[in-house]
A and B are shown apart, each in its own frame.
Chain A
Amino acid sequence: GDSVTQMEGPVTLSEEAFLTINCTYTATGYPSLFWYVQYPGEGLQLLLKATKADDKGSNKGFEATYRKETTSFHLEKGSVQVSDSAVYFCALSDHPGSARQLTFGSGTQLTVLP
């Protein structure tokens, strides 16, 4: 079945550092890929998405590129801020363009220190 593997956390960075959170997936067909963010005490929010190979999703300075050849969707940000401290989830859906039946990774806790 479908699965998502994320790098284990927690990740602690200083403000303005470069961020990479690795995500690889296993799926049949051509899934849509997502990154969600969960701030303390809140539900998950969609951060960015990509629906086909070589698509780049971007939002709030975060980027991720759908790499079919390496089955990866790594999250990057060039300069993190304290306000980026949260848990980040990689996810996939095998319903094209849809968020139905998302399969989530285990989440990566990010802490950014001032």
Chain B
Amino acid sequence: DAGVIQSPRHEVTEMGQEVTLRCKPISGHDYLFWYRQTMMRGLELLIYFNNNVPIDDSGMPEDRFSAKMPNASFSTLKIQPSEPRDSAVYFCASSSSGELFFGEGSRLTVL
């Protein structure tokens, strides 16, 4: 299996622009997680899905952030409008019932 695949690996954008991050989980995994990693706040869970349904989005910082999972093999995290404080590495992870498998992350820089 190719593992969890995220795109883009790097994104540089200007404040106010829309950003879409994409994730393909490992086939057969029924849980999908979005995390954000920054130096100041470490790893934060933003939202997670079970069988494509959002279960807990209490970590989503504000309404500018939204996440969808239209099918079992694809999820997006969207930021609109983006702000400099959104600069971070965003990780997607998937799981069946035990170990969490992480993607390589999407490094976002908002100027």
User: What residues make up the interface of A, taking CB atoms closer than 8 Å to B?
Assistant: 41-46, 49, 89, 97-102, 104-107
Residue in chain B with minimal CB distance to A42 = B104
Is the Cβ of B98 less than 8 Å from the Cβ of A104? no
Chain B residues with CB under 8 Å of A101's CB are 45, 48, 56
Q: Is B95 an interface residue (CB 8 A)?
A: yes
- The A interface is mostly helix, strand or loop, or mixed, namely loop
Q: Is B42 an interface residue (CB 8 A)?
A: yes
Interface size on B, residues (CB 8 A): 18
Q: Is B105 an interface residue (CB 8 A)?
A: yes
In the complex, what's the smallest C-beta–C-beta distance from B42 to chain A, in angstroms?
5
Chain B residues with CB under 8 Å of A104's CB are 42-43
Is the Cβ of B43 less than 8 Å from the Cβ of A89? yes
